Amino acid sequence: MLSPCHGAARPHRGGVYPHAAPPLVVLGIPAIAAMVLVLFAAGHHRASLRAGHTRPQAAGWGLRAGAWAFAWSSAFGVAAGAGLLARFDARPPPMAFMFAAIIGGAFLFAYSRAGSLLADQLSVTALVGVQGFRLPLELVMSEAAAAGVMPVQLSFSGYNFDIVTGLGALAVAALAAAGRAPRWLVVAWNVYGAACLVVIAVIALLTAPFVRAFGDGSVNTWVAYLPFVWLPAVCVPAALAGHIVLFRKLGRMKNHEASRR
């Protein structure tokens, strides 16, 4: 059977990816998504403690964040498992709503009370370092592209250079922890990482089954199935919201420094 990236395959109504995929991809995507969910809950717990909340209050923040994140990821998992996202012939296409929900959800969270807590209380080291998950994610995506599971345009063999963001996150976070990361470096890294997400979003849209800008040999259908749906549903909004929260953090730091002059 043809992979969705190598032909105009018919929609598959089942929720599990219907073609062969490397174990690294099948296990890697949900493993990285699960790690992101754990870090999300832990970040809220840590931020709450730094805000002066009691340990029970901080535990509540962490548990609520974890519950919301689990509900969010489960909703996309159920939609994929029910075959709703794989209705590529539907108009309007369900995948378009998924893309809109992911981007909108990231912005809503970043400017929410919880997003403000993270911006106020987490360090630059933490906000940058957490984005290091994008390094292993890009390696898994490269494997997916090599196996024909994902369009090559979405890997670093194509137009996706987000692996630099992941590598940079580890380097900049290490420098920040040592007090040796100048503001311009953090800003430059954050701008680059956010720009990479914009490029990835554009490519994902161009390779969507309702656009097919690169032809039938490069169609981005794999994210409509389990377990790959958790890449756009968890990893992408986490990365986007993380950049916005860091921009907010940097802005508040600048205002604070200006007020002390």
Of 9-13, 40-44, 205-209, 227-231, the poorest mean pLDDT is in 9-13
Angstrom distance (rounded) from CA 91 to CA 208: 13
What SS3 string covers 133-153?
HHHHHHHHHHHHHHCCCCCHH
Q: What is the pLDDT of residue 109?
A: 98
Judged against a pLDDT cut of 80, whether residue 45 lies above it is answered with yes
Per-position DSSP letters for 35-78, written without gaps between them? HHHHHHHHHHHHHHHHTT--HHHHHHHHHHHHHHHHHHHHHHHH
Burial class (CB in 10 A: 0-12, 13-18, 19+), 89: exposed
Confidence class for position 81, pLDDT limits 50, 70, 90: very high
Tokens of 115: 């997003």
Q: What is the pLDDT of residue 13?
A: 55
**Residue 33 Cα to chain centre, angstroms:** 8
Of 9-23, 53-67, 121-135, the poorest mean pLDDT is in 9-23
